[in-house]
Structure 1
Amino acid sequence: MSLGHRGLRIWWRVRRPTTFGVKALLMHPDDPGKCLVVRHSYVDRDRWGLPGGGYDPKRESAGEAAIREVAEELALTIEEPPTVLRSLTTQLEGKVDNLTIVAARPTSADFRLNAELSEARWVAVDLTELPADAPISRWLKLALAD
């Protein structure tokens, strides 16, 4: 863990901020049996998870944030409003995190990674196409449990 991240954790414990985040379960536009999984380049680099990020609920909804994040991270377009799968609150790291997990279908399967992602791939929703020992994000598991 970096020194900067340790400092943030201490600040979160003192201030106890509230954050809002969204994760997007992207279903393949032509194959409903496949979803897009990603690995981030900046944190938890080995774990397969979902694209997404933070947002300000005063400026956009979780669905709007998911559409924006997917466009920024993967250059994919989502035209239909995302469906909320789950909304939950956690208090990890000394802050209150509100997370919304949505499902959406991009208009194309052709993605382009930005610097936040190190890898992305379309895989079967049962995740059997990933190595058996591959670490999987709990948010990805939760999204696929529905």
Structure 2
Amino acid sequence: MRVPAILLRAGSPFLQLWWRIRRPTTFGVKALLRLPDGRFLVVRHSYADVHRWGLPGGGYQPARETPSEAAAREVHEELGLRIRPTDFTILSSTVTTLEGKHDTLTILTAFAPSESTILSAEIAEARWLKDLQELGDAPLSRWLLSALIE
């Protein structure tokens, strides 16, 4: 089911408040997608931190899928790109409480089959870059920066 961007933006503050009260344990993935020419993909989400450039990704349940399977699913849902789970390599895994929840976040990387994307309502904008300087002084996700130095 596709949720319109306006509903994602409207619901995001309530979800973050709920996380701070409930403090659930969650699992998430972020995907650093690359092209053979050295470019990598950055996205701006249409909800929550809409000005910050970051990586595509989302949550998953470890009992149902691996981080690689979750990354492949999220990349397909958000960008329309089909990448096999076996094509992903784990860069890092960390536990964070940044959003008020106990989140195990795994950052993975893979080569994209194409630079053509079909953006879901979750993604406001996507760009292929050679260097972060192409974004000027735009705010950047700590996970994007972490993935690029791995």
TM-score interval for Structure 1 and Structure 2 normalised by the shorter chain: 0.7 to 0.9
Aligned position for 2:144: 140
Aligned length: 141
1:114 to 1:133, Cα distance in 2 relative to 1, 3 A = same
TM-score when normalising by structure 1: 0.88
Letter in 2 for 1:47: R
The answer to whether the 8 A contact 2:57-2:75 is kept is: yes
The runs of at least 4 aligned residues of structure 1 exceeding 2 Å deviation read 2-16
Aligned position for 1:77: 82
Among 106, 113, 118, the residue aligned to 2:112: 106
Greater percentage in helix: 2
Q: What is the aligned-residue RMSD (CA, Å)?
A: 1.8
Unpaired runs of at least 5, structure 2: 1-8
Alignment of 1:46-85 (within 5 A): 46-79=51-84, 80-85=86-91
Distance, in Å, in 2 between the alignment partners of 1:9 and 1:40 is 15
Instruction: Kindly indicate whether residue 125 of structure 2 is the aligned counterpart of residue 119 of structure 1.
Output: yes
1:61 to 1:138, Cα distance in 2 relative to 1, 3 A = same
Distance, in Å, in 1 between the alignment partners of 2:13 and 2:139 is 23
Unpaired runs of at least 5, structure 1: none
The answer to whether the 8 A contact 2:13-2:48 is kept is: no
TM-score when normalising by structure 2: 0.86
| Percentage of identical aligned residues | 60
